[in-house]
Amino acid sequence: MAEPDAQRRLAAILAADVAGYSRLTEADEERTVGALKRHLGEFFEPTVAKHGGRIFKAMGDGFLLEFASVLNAVRCAIEIQEGMAARNTGVPERERIVFRIGVNLGDVIVEGADLHGDGVNLAARLEGLADPGGICISANVYDQVRRRIPARFEDMGPQTLKNISEPLQVFRVHMDGEAPLALPLPDKPSIAVLPFTNMSSDAEYEHFVDGLTEDLITDISRNPGLFVIARNSVFAYKGKPTDVRRIARELGVRYLLEGSARRAGGRVRINVQLIDSIGGGHVWAERFDRELDDIFDLQDEVTARVVEALVGQLVAPPPRRRASSVQAYDLCVRGRALADSSFGSADAMREAMVLLEQAIDLDPGYAEAYRCLALTRNDAWTHCNIPIDPARGTVLDLAERAVTLDPNDSSCHSTFALLLDYAGQWDAARREHELALALDPNNADAMVMYSDFLLFAGEHGKAEGLVLRALRINPLPAAWYFMAQGKAEYALRRYDDAIKTLRNPATYRTASRRYLAASLAQLGQIEEARREAALYMASNPRFTIGHWSSATEFRDAATKAHFVEGYRLAGLPE
């Protein structure tokens, strides 16, 4: 504790560290250390000096800086990130030096040239929340700079930070009013299909319009000549103002497809426009007014027009098997949406299963309904402890039926692969995983499902590679993507990276705490590991290492032993 008469002052503190430094040095320590020294001497240190700052502590790949002006601190942070982006141009991604930065304004304790106290600690915690190439600031910094810097500030809400008693309001800085460090455009034409707007007077048709968007994404993504952003990322923009350039930049695509749908009686009207976010203007726009029963032909037509506009005439992929009726389609879309949005809710999962069973009763040849029912039943049993009546058929039977009905549907094969994996039919599961990605090279969910299979087989590097590919296609994913990334980093013994990934607010939840506890324990942070293990056990009181070990389908004994070792070190029960 500091003495009562310790010297104090108010200061703006900037904390920066190199993202993935352990991985970089493990790959090539000499190259990484040399590159960091060059960046520091040629750019980082002169930029800090220009803005009136000083580095008061350097810790290998981490730096603490003091500024008398909070405005100068944020301006320096932005210049560092933009300058490093330019310096990394042409450098292979695996070799880039990329900083995370946090900025706080607070009271500090002065000890010679060094500074201590909550003002410094909070800056370091903010840096840990920042994305690679990004900046996070506290609310008091935001209040000082929000009208004085040409940037957009995203409110991340109150964040619980390590060893900080109260949640802290945090803001993410998007430089020049746009997303920091836009994702580089892929080599092939890239597109995101934004959620269509429901123009119907009946709000009940919202699920129909969402289903239409999802099916268009699926259909367009099956074309190997295109790079297509996944569903989860585009639905993050639903109901929000459309800023074409900003959305395209944040998702790392050139083209956006947006539209609206009005369903009334037995007809449907769809307006669609394909926008070039770089060249400006509309590449193609059209209105379709059709009988509702023609909706599936209409989806095919819109898909063909988009593909033709972006890459010309291609050999169309084999057609998917559609529902035979709009009623069955409606039931399936509602069931699928309910299961996705209410994951873990027993009542919602039961309702979703009823809807999907009704879709199958109406259309016994509807592959998508069988696939969704198989996945929902599996999740209901696995995560909600809902007993499944075996007379209705096992989940594996349902998934196999979906594949038989529609052998051209990537997601049917991916779901079947997942359930084959649970059943221990690993050779068959691998074939189905690979077929799923051959049918749809943009199927990000299938990539992450396959990554788990590869992880358990001991193919850790390949597992991580698939997750990283999936995160590019789905840059705003569901939490389980980051959990898969954290597991792969743990398996690769990159515990620092795993901890940062698993502490990401997007994924830090019950299931991730087990892997986080193991990662902390492997670094010798036993007390903190046991706190995370206790939080995990509070929600999973029946967990034991023995049951998990026997129930998890590992094909590689060394990988299983590595996870068991981490759980034991963290104090999880035998």
pLDDT of 3 > 50? The answer is no
pLDDT tens digits, 340-367: 776 556 788 889 999 999 999 999 999 9
pLDDT tens digits, 170-188: 898 987 544 444 567 888 8
In CATH, 190-311 is 3.40.50.1100: no
Q: What does the block give as tokens for 544?
A: 């034991």
* Token pair 């840059």 in the structure block, residue: 475
What mean pLDDT comes out for the span 60-79? 92
Class of domain 8-175: alpha beta
Q: What is the pLDDT of residue 1?
A: 41
For 378, residues 6+ apart whose C-beta sits below 8 A from its C-beta are 395, 418, 419, 422
pLDDT bin (cut points 50, 70, 90) of residue 6 is low
Q: What is the pLDDT of residue 464?
A: 94
Task: Tell me the C-alpha distance between 374 and 342, whole Å.
Answer: 16
Confirm if 409 and 366 have CB atoms less than 8 A apart.
no
Higher pLDDT residue, 486 or 9? Answer: 486
In CATH, 478-574 is 1.25.40: yes
Range of lowest pLDDT (334-338, 339-343, 416-420): 339-343
- For CATH 3.30.70.1230, the residue range(s) in the chain are 8-175
Q: What is the pLDDT of residue 562?
A: 96
pLDDT tens digits, 289-306: 888 888 888 888 888 888
Q: What is the pLDDT of residue 177?
A: 45
- Side chain identity at residue 184, one-letter code: P
Q: What is the pLDDT of residue 315?
A: 57
Tell me whether residue 531 is exposed, middle or buried, using C-beta atoms within 10 angstroms of its C-beta: 0 to 12, 13 to 18, 19 or more. Answer: middle
Q: What is the pLDDT of residue 144?
A: 86
What mean pLDDT comes out for the span 72-89? 91
Confirm if 45 and 55 have CB atoms less than 8 A apart.
yes
- For CATH 3.40.50.10610, the residue range(s) in the chain are 190-311
Q: What is the pLDDT of residue 314?
A: 52
Q: What is the pLDDT of residue 8?
A: 84
Range of lowest pLDDT (140-154, 394-408, 514-528): 140-154
Give percent above pLDDT 70 in the chain: 91
**Structure pTM?**
0.67
Range of lowest pLDDT (184-193, 317-326, 469-478): 317-326
